[in-house]
Chains A and B, each alone.
Chain A
Amino acid sequence: MSETVVNLWSIPLLVVIPILTAIVLNLLYNRVRAIRVASVVSAAALLVVSIVSPYGLQWFTGQPGVASDGSYTYSTSIFSWKLSLEYYFGPLQQILIFTSSLLLLFVVVISTRSLKKDFGPYVAIMFLTYFSTVAVIMVNDFYHLWIVVEIGSLLVAGLVAASGAGSAQKAALKYTFFSALSGSGLAIALALILGITGYANISDAISFLMMTDLGNMYNVLYISFAFLMLSWIYAGGLAPIHPLKSDVYRSAFPHATVLLQAQSKVMLVAIGLVLLRMFGGLPFAREAMLSISLLTMILGVVMALIQTDFRWILAYLIVSHSGLVTVGISLGTPLGIVGGLFQAVNDIVYMSVLLLCCEMLLYFNNGTSIRSSGGIAKKVPWLAAFAILGAFAASGIPPFNGFQSELILIQAALGGGLPEVAAVILMVSVSTFIALFRGIYSIFLKPSTNPLPEGSESASSPPRGMPIILGILVAITLILGVYPQLALDFLTESAVKVVYVPWVP
């Protein structure tokens, strides 16, 4: 059987455009208008590519699948050895990349209007962060996975340090030191998997494991699973390193945190699915993943409840809701995986709403502390409305999107015979509501106990168009809440493949 094999045109664009844009923005450095135009045009182009791209593969070594009769094939239904470094763009990749592209466009618009000088390199790091996000969800080989996770970690440090505050530099330093540990672990995991299977391609490695009795080498497989899980924990900020990640989220500008949390969620999905496809059959593998997820959910939300700053509350809630994403994936059933993937999409959107509201507080309130704030709803009613709607979505209240994904997760947990997991999901949902509305009440609704004197707000004016951006994001939470099938159509196929044909990307 011989077929015409073509590499998909859009995958190189999604990878190369952000890198080229980052180089150009670095060269432009301080030319405000040119940076603004170049970055917005580039972000819009990436959004368009993510929408119009067909589905398919890109072989970086020019090697499609080799069928048993020696012919080439790109059909995933035919068993073949790929022997290649490979990217795959499918429905799951499309919805996550579309969401990331939309957020990149919004964040670029905001940052190029709010920052005044020397922001070429800063926006360049944003584009590279976007690159790491889209690349990690498309990779189907361990080599690229390792490199993208490493690059992504360094970019997180860069984006956080760029905010300029001493606490941000400290957070970046701590995060980079742990990145060094985790990155070394990931390199060893890659080497062990290559040593056991002989394949860098994830599909090939899975096929090899399914057809070969490893005998004593199973111990080595467990070690590689442990190292890969370490990188999963690190990249996603799961327990026990959640304080580092929440420190990072809190220290960056809130608009940068929008990209950082999207990157974390996508990395959690990408590495989590690889763990499930590759090691899901190992005894205790899913149990270990599930335990980490539950611990993250509980620790994150408990820490959020005791914070007195809205940024800290959001930082810990992002970590806690990362646990919601991974708990679905760890359940390992098609329904659970769909719930986890849907939660990832929803979480990225509603957390962005809350983070951008937090960004606006820096303009209207001179800070995000819930102790020294109050009365913002009277001053900026539209901001209070968006914050409340975002909090509803995050707390899983119908008809917003968070409700739909949490409902699927609870159904999956009950269907899998784990009612205690369903109870923890419910507890996280209720605690999220309490943590958020404690902050929202103090900042927006409570009468101001210490009113700011007239004209004492931040000297810079808030970015124009913010109500429109927030409006679009809230509309997405509402649309996905009322019509969840719009997203589920993109996610179901991927979830089914992970469970029943794990060697298919």
Chain B
Amino acid sequence: MIEVSLQLLTFLAASLLIIIGIAGMLFLDNLIKKLISFTLLSDGVNLALVSLGYVPGGIVPILEPGASISDFPKEAALIFGPGIVLTNIVIGVSTTAILAALIIMLYKRYGTLKASKVLKGEME
């Protein structure tokens, strides 16, 4: 029961991060804050992916010497979650880098980080 609650808690935390991230990206006016919101969203998705692979009472998915091969698939946490998370981290970093580069270029051009002014083409 405690393990089930633990997974539920991680899903709740992930949902909270995702909601805060999406809300920040949609409603905050500062481009840097939007960027930070995206990283929150990405972290929330990563947490959700890791939580999907959780097996109550399970073990780390590394086959130790002497361990039972037949019991291993039942006991080990699912490996695909962390596998996807690794890739998602790389994608997240790439996206953050491109967004940061675009924000810098727009800041140099318009002298402001306010999305409302940048999108209207107004200078600070």
By a CB distance below 8 angstroms, the chain B residues around A146 are: 87
A180 touches B52 (CB 8 A): no
| CB atoms of B48 and A188 under 8 A apart | yes
A147 CB contact (under 8 Å) in B22, B52, B91, B99: B91
Any B CB within 8 A of the CB of A237 = no
Given A166-B121, A191-B81, A195-B52, residue A181 in contact with residue B41 (CB < 8 A): yes
Number of residues of chain A lying within 8 A (CB) of chain B = 30
Residues of B within 8 A of A174 (CB): 119
Within 8 A of B (CB), among A159-175: 161, 166-167, 169-170, 172-174
Which of B52, B84, B94, B102 is the most central at the interface, judged by chain A CB atoms within 10 Å of its CB? B102
Q: Which 4 A-B residue pairings sit nearest by Cβ, starting from the closest?
A: A184-B45, A173-B102, A180-B38, A194-B80
Contacts of A173 in B (CB 8 A): 31, 99, 102-103, 106, 118
> Cα distance A190–B42 when bound, in Å?
15
**Given A181-B25, A188-B45; 6 other pairs, CB 8 A cutoff:** A166-B121, A167-B121, A172-B102, A187-B49, A191-B48, A195-B52
Q: With A and B bound together, what is the CA distance between A187 and B109 in angstroms?
A: 34
A-B contact pairs, 9 of them (CB 8 A): A147-B87, A158-B98, A169-B102, A173-B99, A177-B25, A180-B95, A187-B49, A188-B48, A191-B80
Q: Give the shortest distance, in Å, between A169 (CB) and chain B (any CB).
A: 5
- Docked CA distance A188–B14 (Å): 12
A215 to chain B, nearest CB (A): 18
**Interface hits, B84-124 → A, CB 8 Å:** 84, 87-88, 91, 94-95, 98-99, 101-103, 105-106, 109-110, 118-119, 121
Contact A169 B106 (CB under 8 A): yes
Q: Point out the residue from A154, A176, A181, A191 that lies within 8 Å of B22, measured CB to CB.
A: A181
| A279 CA / B76 CA spacing, docked (Å) | 30
Interface SS of chain A: helix
Output the residue of A169, A176, A184 with the most chain B CB within 10 A: A184
Nearest A-chain residue to B45, judged by Cβ: A184
A297 contacts across to B, CB distance below 8 A:
none
Contact residues in A for B106 (Cβ distance below 8 Å):
166, 169-170, 173
Q: Is A347 an interface residue (CB 8 A)?
A: no
Interface residues on B, range: 20 to 34
B22 to chain A: which residues have CB within 8 Å? Answer: 181
Option from B48, B88, B99, B121 in Cβ contact (under 8 Å) with A176: B99
Asked if A176 meets B98 with Cβ closer than 8 Å, knowing A169-B105, A191-B81, A191-B84, the reply is yes
Pick the contact of B42: A147, A176, A180 (CB < 8 A): A180
CB <8 Å contact, B118 and A154: no
A150 vs B93: C-alpha distance in the bound complex, in angstroms?
12
Q: A150, A166, A172, A192: which contacts B109 (Cβ < 8 A)?
A: A166
Chain B residues within 8 Å of A179, by CB = 95
Q: Mark A35-60, 1 if CB is under 8 A from B, else 0.
A: 00000000000000000000000000
CB distance from A450 to the nearest CB of B (A): 25
Tell whether A157 is near chain B: CB-to-CB under 8 Å. yes
Whether a CB of chain B sits under 8 angstroms from the CB of A339 is no
Q: A181 to chain B: which residues have CB within 8 Å?
A: 22, 25, 41
Tell me which residues across on chain A come within 8 A of B94, comparing CB atoms.
Answer: 154
Shortest CB-to-CB span from A95 to chain B, Å, is 30
* A174 to B25 CA separation, bound complex (whole angstroms): 11
A481 contacts B by Cβ under 8 Å? no
What string of 1s and 0s marks CB contacts (under 8 Å) between B67-82 and chain A? 0000000000010110
Bound Cα distance from A108 to B121, whole angstroms: 32
Report Cα–Cα, A154/B101, bound state, in Å. Answer: 12
A90 interface contact, C-beta 8 A: no
Instruction: Point out the residue from B38, B42, B49, B91 that lies within 8 Å of A177, measured CB to CB.
Output: B38
Q: Judge whether B52 and A154 touch: CB under 8 Å.
A: no
Tell me, rounded to whole Å, the shortest Cβ–Cβ distance linking B80 to chain A: 5
List the A side residues contacting B98 at CB < 8 Å. Answer: 154, 157-158, 176
Who on chain A is nearest to B78 by CB?
Answer: A195
Tell me whether A183 is interfacial, beta carbon within 8 Å. Answer: yes
| Contact across chains for B88 and A187 when beta carbons are under 8 A apart | yes
Q: Who on chain B is nearest to A179 by CB?
A: B95
Tell me how far the C-beta of A202 lies from the nearest C-beta in chain B, rounded to whole angstroms: 15
Q: Is the Cβ of A184 less than 8 Å from the Cβ of B110?
A: no
Assess whether A154 is in contact with B95, with CB atoms less than 8 Å apart. Answer: yes
In the bound complex, how far is the Cα of B94 from the Cα of A98, in angstroms?
30
B87 nearest CB neighbor, chain A only:
A147
* B-side contacts of A167, CB under 8 Å: 121
B112 to chain A minimum Cβ distance, whole angstroms, is 13
CA A174 to CA B52, docked complex, whole Å: 31
Q: Which residues of A contact B110 (CB under 8 A)?
A: 166
**Residue in A146, A158, A183, A191 whose Cβ sees the most chain B Cβ within 10 Å:** A191
**Are A183's CB and B109's CB within 8 A?**
no
Distance (Å) between the CB of A313 and the closest chain B CB? 22
Scan A172-213; emit 1 where CB is below 8 A from any B CB, else 0: 111011011101100110111011000010000000000000
A184/B102 contact (C-beta < 8 A), A166-B110, A190-B84, A191-B84 known? no
Chain B's nearest CB lies how many Å from the CB of A144?
10
Interface bits B11-53 vs A (CB < 8 Å: 1, else 0): 0000000100010010000010010001001100100110010
Q: A147-B91, A154-B98, A181-B25 given as contacts; is B45 within 8 A of A161 (CB)?
A: no
Chain A residues closer than 8 Å to B48, beta-carbon distance: 188, 191
